[in-house]
Amino acid sequence: MCVQYLTTVNIDWVKSHFDLDLPVSSSHDVFPTYPGPIILKSHSTKRTAIGMARFGLIPSWAKDGDFGRKTYNARSETVTEKPSYKQAWAKRHYALALADAFYEPNYESGKAVRTSIKQLNGEPMAIASIWDTWNEPETGELVVSFSMLTINADRHPVMNHFHRPGDEKRTVVPLRPEFFKDWLNATPETAKDLLSLTSIPELTF
């Protein structure tokens, strides 16, 4: 489960793949409730946009922003059923979180070793995510937040090295570039098909 990642600083990569300008950010090491850049698409205007969003999805009915401390990852197997995520999924609120690396614990030495996972080709990653909006009760501020989707990684040659012995192996889903548009344009039916190990580029640690 990804609780920490490093946002990309590769302005040229974002521009070449999405024709969008990467927002300026003062923080690149992101934990739950921290801001990170995401790309999303409006299905009414057909416009693709980029902006900062809070890591850890806050559903519209949440009482406070701390809710996002426990919703930074959404299991693909149950995302359509869980109250925190099902509304965003049904509304086709699909996003791409932009990262240079994400971190997982490796226990192969007998202790948890924080390990950076990157694309083998050194390029940034666009991680399959869902987003939602929430109004801060006291200020009325509209907060955009997101969760990264996760899938089983028992058969992934890299991601099966992580998490505690005996625990299920899980991974977020960095998508190969040919699937970027498909994810942003996905329906609840087609999105499930994209959340698979075959959609993930080669990774290394």
> Lowest-pLDDT range, 13-22, 159-168, 176-185, 186-195?
159-168
What confidence category does residue 176 fall into, taking pLDDT thresholds of 50, 70 and 90?
A: very high
pLDDT of the residue at 1: 73
Q: Are 151 and 195 in contact (CB under 8 A)?
A: yes
- Residue 198 in this model has a pLDDT that exceeds 80: yes
What CATH topology corresponds to 5-204? Answer: hypothetical protein yedk fold (3.90.1680)
Q: Whole-angstrom Cα distance, residue 145 to residue 72?
A: 9
Q: Whole-angstrom Cα distance, residue 80 to residue 167?
A: 23
pLDDT of the residue at 157: 95
Query: What are the pLDDT digits (tens) for 103-124?
Result: 999 998 989 999 999 999 999 9
pLDDT of the residue at 194: 97
Greatest CA separation found in the chain? 52
* Single pTM value for the model: 0.97
Task: Fill in the DSSP letter of residue 22.
Answer: P
Question: b/e string for 113-126 if b means 16 or more Cβ within 10 A?
Answer: eeeebbbeeebbbb
Instruction: Extract the tokens encoding 137.
Output: 């009760």
Q: Whole-angstrom Cα distance, residue 61 to residue 84?
A: 9
Query: What are the pLDDT digits (tens) for 141-169?
Result: 999 999 999 999 999 999 999 988 889 99
pLDDT of the residue at 34: 97
